[in-house]
Amino acid sequence: MSVSAVERSAMRRALALARRGPRGVNPQVGAVILSPDGDVLAEGWHHGVGTPHAEVDALSQLAPGAARGTTAVVTLEPCNHTGHTGPCALALIEAGVARVVYSAEDPGVRSGGGAARLRAAGVDVAGGVLVDDGVALIDDWLVATRLGRPYITVKWAQSLDGRAAASDGTSRWITGPAARADVHERRASTDAILAGTGTILADDPALTARTPAGALHEHQPIPVVLGTRAVPADAAVRRHPHPPLFYDDLHVAVADLHARGIHRLFVEGGPTVASAFLRAGLYDEILAYTAPVLLGGDRLALTDIGVATIGAARRLRVASIEKLGDDLLIVAHPRPDATRAERSS
């Protein structure tokens, strides 16, 4: 079904409106209601958990019956289930909306299917409009919805011979300032950053995202601490802009973070924690910052990840290799076939 220039323009406006909403358990969604002549009658966006969805927010600004025959332009396929609020597909049908134009499809098992319900009720539906922009807007939410957990990045810094520290335990700094600045930029783009209690006790990290000048980035990831050892009351992580979350079980942590609306988790907790996530198959991206330094010894960047024979090796797909000053950043992802093997092991 064709889409008009007016509808495309309205979709761009809806995408801008969606960004006003908070990131969290629900996706950011925007909506614009157009008259049959293409005039904007109402706008809306999702304001957070428990509030009306974008379509209903926009419809609420119209007088009863004023939405009949209109077109609803929405950044995400209208939902088809009852949660904190009712199904948006039904709300649009009951309001008499004649046409719905949406960007990204809803992948949810319970929430998806809104387009089919609308069509069954006689509503004209056009999907996939500015779909790249629509998916990019809620990419984190889409991944978390599909996986049922956050998208997990595991990061470590290592010497050229795969060591995370010298024999005396010192590790500051294996990599140079360009690599460290890149890490902080990536921290600032995530929802939460996780470290183990071993790292907290040994290095006392603040788990903040900072600029090269030392100032805090505007967005700060929520600090997460994993482990059974007590964290001192004066630890730097306790002075983080967000109160830290503490867990003693990896799987409980991942499940609870997902329930809290954490879409992207940045694991930066030393060899023990990194290895635990890899061993459990809980990773979607690996960032290996590698410095042209030789350390020797037994302070490996990874410990046991459950590989007893070469046939069980975790095979990865290299996405990129970037030079950062004298250091290299290797970004890798698990291969789809390797991921299935890990989950079956």
Distance of CA 16 to CAs 4, 31, 98, 192, 318, Å? Answer: 19, 10, 24, 25, 34
Sheet holding 316-324, edge to edge: 245-247, 222-226, 192-196, 264-267, 151-159, 285-291, 327-334, 316-324
Does 55 qualify as catalytic in the annotation? yes
Q: How far apart are CA 131 and CA 309, in angstroms?
A: 43
Residue 84 carries which side chain, given as an amino acid letter? Answer: H
Q: What share of the chain is helix, strand, coil (3-state, %, to 5)?
A: 30, 25, 45
Write down the pTM of the prediction: 0.76
Residues 6+ apart with CB under 8 A from 196: 225, 226, 227, 269, 270, 272, 273
Q: What is the pLDDT of residues 70-122, one digit of tens each?
A: 999 999 999 887 666 678 999 999 999 999 999 999 876 555 688 999 999 99
Q: What is the pLDDT of residues 223-249, one digit of tens each?
A: 999 999 999 999 999 999 999 999 999
Mean pLDDT of 35-40: 95
3-state secondary structure of 223: strand
Task: Give yes or no for a contact between 33 and 72, defined as CB atoms under 8 angstroms apart.
Answer: yes
Catalytic pick from 55, 268, 285, 342? 55
Task: Give yes or no for a contact between 46 and 29, defined as CB atoms under 8 angstroms apart.
Answer: yes
Least confident of 10-24, 166-180, 223-237: 166-180
E strands in the chain: 30-34, 40-45, 71-76, 99-104, 124-126, 151-159, 192-196, 222-226, 245-247, 264-267, 285-291, 316-324, 327-334
Q: How confident is the model at residue 341 (pLDDT cuts 50, 70, 90)?
A: very low
Task: Give yes or no for a contact between 225 and 237, defined as CB atoms under 8 angstroms apart.
Answer: yes
- Asked if pLDDT for residue 344 goes beyond 50, the answer is no
Q: How far apart are CA 291 and CA 295, in angstroms?
A: 11
Where is 249: in which H helix or E strand? Answer: none
Task: Give yes or no for a contact between 100 and 125, defined as CB atoms under 8 angstroms apart.
Answer: yes
Q: What is the pLDDT of residues 250-288, one digit of tens each?
A: 999 999 999 998 989 999 978 999 999 999 999 999 999
- Asked if pLDDT for residue 216 goes beyond 50, the answer is yes
How much is the CA Rg of the chain, to the nearest whole Å? 24
> Could you give the percent of the chain with pLDDT greater than 70?
94
3-state secondary structure of 63: coil
Residues 6+ apart with CB under 8 A from 168: none
Distance of CA 197 to CAs 131, 170, 221, Å? Answer: 42, 17, 18
Residues 6+ apart with CB under 8 A from 255: 149
Main-chain dihedrals φ then ψ at residue 290, nearest 5 degrees: -120, 125
Q: Where do the domains of the chain lie, and which CATH numbers do they carry? A: 5-144 (3.40.140.10), 148-344 (3.40.430.10)
Task: Give yes or no for a contact between 164 and 300, defined as CB atoms under 8 angstroms apart.
Answer: yes
Burial class from Cβ neighbours inside 10 Å (0-12, 13-18, 19+) for residue 63 reads: exposed
